[in-house]
């Protein structure tokens, strides 16, 4: 069995059960472990710290599977982890006619680099670490065994794969290829998921609870939904009784999907204005036109995948919030989000505060928002809290 031996004094984070071992913490690697191979992790004094998956191409050289020396990392290990994660979701989420939920959420479920989503009768898996790739076939067979669903599709095409030295992979792992559109239901609203080409695994499940919050606050308001994608917030606002919703996305395909979702849920199209274009440019245009809104949603793509991108991302977040705040009517509300792992919650709030100052608007925070309940964060791994949100009132 190959080993990773840490430098003296670098074992403290692992003793606190933080699951990442960075390359700079390693004194030496004993043996010749292949990418994704399970290795022992030991302190400079020889003490056992955990079993990890080795990743020679990444700055994160190992991700911990388990902290107990007597545990074996084998198919049964993954079966137990997936079984436990699915059981937790059954306790947390009310059963729906067409379930859509995250079943496994990486480190929070003890499976670094493994994301498993369910869309109705289909399972979509995203594997983003060398260790997850090595156990791909076992993960696929385990999830069919635990859920009883035969179709498993892999969407391992996230940008972070390059950091692991892995090439994108999109293919069926078990059963048949998924259809282009899988119908799901969320809080009584109907959506279609494209698991092959949609963002992430096809749909932003992490915003489920926040869409419901928006719905509760939309009645009679004129709403602006920026980076609307396929219209999750748009449809939720309409369901909440919004007077009108203007939605913007740079993707024509996303706008077309949003329009279908508006129609499928039976809302009058004159209440929905769907615009294909650059959000930054259109916000400036709305300012020049003196347009105003009662509620604005900012849910941009990831501006900072790592902390190294935080400074550049901060400028983009400040600009987008500045323009949005200038478009709010007095008493209006801003739902603003960051899904950038490289921008912590405290920094994001400071960015929004700076934007408010520059916009000349006094803003108060009504509520802090995060990912849906099936996207947990373990306390010893704060990096898992990638989605941060604020409800602000001008």
Residue with tokens 């080993």: 3
Give the C-alpha separation, 64 to 195, whole Å: 29
Give the list of residues 6+ apart from residue 362 with CB closer than 8 angstroms, or none. 356, 394
Of the residues 226, 228, 339, 392, only one is catalytic, namely: 339
Give the CA distances from residue 142 to residues 77, 78, 138, 153, in Å, rounded to whole numbers and listed in that order: 10, 7, 6, 13
Give the C-alpha separation, 243 to 240, whole Å: 9
Q: What share of the chain is helix, strand, coil (3-state, %, to 5)?
A: 35, 30, 35
If you write DSSP's letter for every residue of 259-308 in order, what string do you get?
HHHHHHTT--GGGEEEEES-HHHHHHHHHHTT--EEEEEE----S-SSGG
Active site residue 339: yes
If you write DSSP's letter for every residue of 181-215 in order, what string do you get?
-EEEEETTEEEEE-TTTSSTTSS-GGGHHHHHHHH
* DSSP-based three-state secondary structure for 11: coil
Instruction: Please say whether the beta carbons of 301 and 251 come within 8 A.
Output: no
For residue 2 the two structure tokens come to: 């190959």
DSSP state of 111: -
Instruction: Please say whether the beta carbons of 330 and 359 come within 8 A.
Output: no
Give me the active site residues, please: 339
């Amino acid at each position: 069995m190959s080993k990773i031996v840490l430098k003296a004094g670098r074992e403290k984070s692992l003793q606190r059960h933080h699951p990442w071992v960075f390359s700079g913490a390693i004194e030496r690697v004993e043996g010749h472990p292949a990418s994704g191979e399970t290795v022992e992790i030991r302190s400079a004094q020889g003490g056992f710290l955990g079993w990890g998956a080795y990743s020679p191409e990444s700055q994160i050289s190992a991700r911990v599977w388990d902290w107990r020396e007597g545990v074996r990392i084998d198919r049964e290990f993954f079966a137990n982890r997936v079984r436990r994660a699915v059981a937790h979701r059954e306790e947390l989420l009310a059963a729906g006619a067409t379930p859509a939920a995250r079943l496994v959420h990486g480190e929070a479920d003890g499976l670094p680099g493994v994301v498993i989503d369910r869309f109705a009768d289909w399972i979509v898996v995203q594997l983003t670490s060398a260790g997850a790739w090595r156990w791909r076939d076992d993960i696929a067979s385990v999830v069919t065994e635990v859920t009883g669903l035969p179709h498993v599709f892999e969407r391992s095409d996230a940008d972070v794969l390059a950091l692991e030295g892995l090439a994108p992979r999109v293919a069926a792992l078990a059963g048949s290829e998924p259809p282009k559109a899988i119908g799901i239901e969320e809080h009584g609203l109907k959506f279609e998921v494209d698991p092959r080409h949609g963002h992430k695994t096809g749909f932003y499940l992490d915003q489920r609870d926040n869409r419901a919050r928006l719905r509760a606050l939309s009645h009679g308001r004129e709403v602006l939904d920026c980076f609307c994608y396929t219209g999750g917030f748009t449809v939720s606002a309409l369901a909440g009784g919004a007077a009108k919703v203007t939605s913007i996305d740079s993707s024509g395909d996303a706008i077309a999907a949003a329009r279908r979702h508006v129609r499928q849920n039976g809302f009058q199209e004159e209440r929905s204005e769907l615009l294909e274009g650059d959000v930054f440019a259109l916000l400036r245009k709305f300012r020049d036109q003196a347009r105003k809104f009662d509620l604005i949603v900012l849910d941009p793509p990831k501006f900072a995948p790592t902390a190294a991108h935080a400074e550049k991302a901060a400028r983009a977040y400040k600009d987008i919030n500045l323009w949005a705040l200038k478009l709010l009517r007095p008493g209006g509300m801003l739902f603003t989000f960051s899904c950038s792992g490289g921008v912590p919650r405290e920094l994001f709030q400071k960015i929004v505060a700076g934007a408010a100052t520059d916009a000349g608007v006094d803003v108060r925070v009504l509520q802090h928002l995060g990912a849906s309940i099936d996207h947990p964060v373990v306390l010893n791994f704060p990096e898992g809290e990638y989605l941060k949100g604020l409800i602000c009132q001008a």
